Amino acid sequence: MRPLHDDEWASRSGLLVTRPQRTAADLLRSREDPEAVAQVVADALRHGHASPGEFAAALAPSAALHGFRRGDGMSLLQWLLDLAGDPDSSRWLSQARAQEQAAPHDDDGDTSRDSLVATADIAAEAQQLMREAAQRHAPRPGPQCGAAAPEHRRRKTASR
């Protein structure tokens, strides 16, 4: 489990919740369904709960895990937005590139991220999408083929 930094959580109605970009990054790191995570990302962007640049930065550590160049959060974000199929995807990618170019760099090389308040609705929606994805990918029982085969068991008998 990764440590939680101050800019990755918020207090909402008395509950501590992770911000959408951290939630998405954790879900991808846990190998959850990328299509469901893509919907979480698109919904958070659509409702202004995080910026595209914040997502690109948060997703960067998971890029190699999903076949992208190590640390390439921008390509991972683009892939997720392509999966989501949202009509605003190209605008969000342009914003992410602009934010990446304009963002100051800390001493350790990480880009600084603005703090935006995440809502508990995003976390609940992520859970619902994960449940739906699990149901879509659950094995389905095969057709029933007549009566069950008889069991053949041998019982050990004690010889006296």
What average pLDDT does this structure show over 65-93?
95
Q: How big is the CA angle at 82 (ends 79 and 87), to the nearest 5 degrees? A: 145
Please report the pLDDT score of residue 152 as a whole number. 44
Mean pLDDT taken over the chain: 77
pLDDT in tens, 13-69: 888 888 999 999 999 999 999 999 999 999 999 999 999 999 999 999 999 999 999
Per-residue burial over 69-80, b if 16 or more Cβ lie within 10 Å, else e, is: eebbbbbbbbbb
Please report, rounded to a whole number, the percentage of residues in the chain having pLDDT higher than 90: 50
Please report the pLDDT score of residue 141 as a whole number. 59
Please report the pLDDT score of residue 119 as a whole number. 41
Q: Is 133 exposed, middle or buried (0-12, 13-18, 19+ CB in 10 A)?
A: middle
Please report the pLDDT score of residue 154 as a whole number. 44
> For the chain, percent helix, then strand, then coil, each to nearest 5?
50, 5, 40
Side chain identity at residue 160, one-letter code: R
State the helix-helix crossing angle for 52-59 and 34-46, rounded to 10 degrees. 150
Could you tell me the CA-to-CA distances from 99 to 52, 104, 142 in Å, in that order?
A: 8, 9, 51
Q: Residue 8: which pLDDT band, with cuts at 50, 70 and 90?
A: confident
| Residue 26 CB partners (closer than 8 Å, separation 6+) | 2, 18
Instruction: Identify the H or E element spanning 92.
Output: helix 89-102
Please report the pLDDT score of residue 113 as a whole number. 37
Please report the pLDDT score of residue 110 as a whole number. 42
Q: Which of 27-41, 103-117, 127-141 has the highest mean pLDDT?
A: 27-41
pLDDT for 109 beyond 50: no
Q: Which of 92-106, 128-142, 144-158 has the highest mean pLDDT?
A: 92-106
Domain spans of the chain, in order of start = 16-137
